[in-house]
Structure 1
Amino acid sequence: MTNRESHTAAIEEYVSTALLNHFGSRPESIQIILRPPFMVMHLTDFSLPNEKALLKQNHAKQVLKTRDVLLGGLKTELAAELPDKCGMAIDGLYADWNINNKTGLLLAVANRQETHETVSLNETEKALLDVLVEASKKTEKKPDHTGIHWLSESVLLIERTGLMVDIETELVKNGSTEELRLAKRPLEHRLMESAPLEAAIGKPIRELFVDWDFEEDRAYMVLLLEASSK
């Protein structure tokens, strides 16, 4: 095992134990993609005690709400402990879940100075940007900025800022952040799953995860892509 692999394995074990402590369950496996200023943690075979009964009664929203509550304590611990383990000063932690697949994704974002400099995009990224802008305009507005970050050959992170509409801003001001997240999550999934993302990227999408920093008017989307055949 290389030093990098050993380092990643240590982070995986730490995050798995933290999930057990805060959620009462640990995933079967965690895949870590560390590419500063981002770290993606993909969880597989992750479900909590008693969720099966709730899902049978069509209470998926309650499952997600409970996970969001539990996530608060986990975020506090990870924000304090991850910097020493991954070498990044954590600015934000985000999460989304695929309940049916028993998978989830945690995203850690490091402190960084944002410049929003113009970046040269290749043809694939230009096509993807057009699709993302059109999709955003259907439920929000055209983002002020959209960043496309390839974390690996099969992990693509999209960062959008300045996309909230007035009613969303008012809901956040009134303290309805959790209600807004619960409402936007399924809508965003349906919207992006119906958009021609795969055609733009040229690869099948295995999973899609989204989360928001409403205070900063920022959205993160992580696409897990099928690996290229060799």
Structure 2
Amino acid sequence: MYILNTENVQKELASYIGRLLRDNFGRGPETVFVSIRKPYITVYLRNFFSPMEKVMMEEKQETYIQTSRDILMKSLIPEIKAYMNVLTGESIGEFYYDWNLHNRTGMFVAISTDPTALDELSNMDFAGKKDLFEEINNIGQQAQKVPEEVLSYKLNERTIIVIRTGLFITIERELIRMGQSEILRTAKRKVEKRLLHNNMRLESILDAKIDDSFVSWDFERDKSVILFIINPNQKGGNELDK
């Protein structure tokens, strides 16, 4: 099977995701930025908000918007993963998503199952990585507990990903077993995103303005993804590096 080069794959994925969201949500994002750095495919959506959602936000119905999007995403994720499989030739094992409704932005993160894909990234360092590790642990401690493992990678000049595993406490695991994952997800969104958005140290650690931060969880894997979209100091600009 012929596989497109990375730049063309990114463009094709961006076009596909834009169409898919428009067809299912009634309105697609204004811009879709796709970045591929194996084993990660990250998607950043800007100005993604329907007229109905705008009305609901004005009526303080944020939780309803999140719930409605969650329902739609359950049906879309298998389709997105299948398309990524075909287009990249990679088997997509994990998929995460999150929204910042006040910013009208969103993110998807897909992770391939290739066990060798992390070899290159694992050997790469970036400024602030050690301090970021400590601050993520501090955030985890405030929210529930220090994760058993924290890994972070700079995927490009605008995108930093943090992978946490072993972060659920006993009562959270029990809620998951009881089928209360959606209630847990709603609560964790509010708590962890508040801790991320109100954290004044992160920008200093990364030496960059944080344009957006997202967090999502895989309850079965006891795993979480945090994604930072940054704007490096003195560099400016609004476009993601391609």
Q: State if a TM-score over 0.5 links the two structures.
A: yes
Name 1:165's counterpart in structure 2.
169
C-alpha RMSD over aligned residues: 2.3
Question: 1:21 offset after TM fit, Å?
Answer: 2.7
Does 1:201 pair with 2:216?
A: no
Which shows bigger deviation, 192-201 or 151-160?
192-201
- Contact conserved, 2:98 with 2:108, CA < 8 A, in 1? yes
Contact persistence 1:11–1:86 (CA under 8 A): no
Percent of aligned positions that are identical:
29
Q: Residue in 2 aligned with 1:125?
A: 129
User: Which of 104, 107, 128 is residue 106 of structure 2 equivalent to?
Assistant: 104
Is 1:38–2:43 an aligned residue pair?
no
Deviation, structure 1 residue 45: 1.1
Name the counterpart of 2:81: 79
Aligned residues: 229
| Structure 2 equivalent of residue 57 of structure 1 | 59
Measured after TM superposition, the shift of residue 219 of structure 1 is: 0.6
- For 2:220, what is the secondary structure of its paired residue? coil
| 2:148 aligned with 1:149 | no
1:216 matched residue in structure 2: 221
Q: Please, which of 16, 28, 34 is the counterpart of residue 26 of structure 1?
A: 28
8 A contact 2:126–2:154 mirrored in 1? no
Conserved? CA contact 2:90–2:114, under 8 Å: no
Three-state SS of the structure 2 residue aligned to 1:180 is: helix
Counterpart for residue 183 of structure 1: 187
How many Å apart are 1:77 and its aligned residue?
A: 0.5
Could you tell me how far 1:76 is from its partner in structure 2? 1.4
Query: Residue 204 of structure 2 aligns to which amino acid in structure 1?
Result: A
1:91 aligns with 2:93: yes
Distance 1:219 1:79 in 2: 18
Amino acid of the residue matched to residue 73 of structure 1? S
Counterparts of 1:49 and 1:98 in 2: how far apart (Å)?
16
Give 1:12's aligned residue.
14
SS of structure 2 residue aligned to 1:226 = strand
Unaligned runs of 5+ in 1: none
Secondary structure of the corresponding residue to residue 220 of structure 1: strand
State the SS of the aligned residue for 2:128: helix
Shift of residue 218 of structure 1?
0.2
Q: Are the equivalent residues in 1 in contact too, given 2:6–2:36 (CA < 8 A)? A: no
1:3 to partner: Cα distance: 5.1
Q: Give runs of ≥4 in structure 1 deviating > 4 Å.
A: 116-123
SS of corresponding position for 2:213: strand
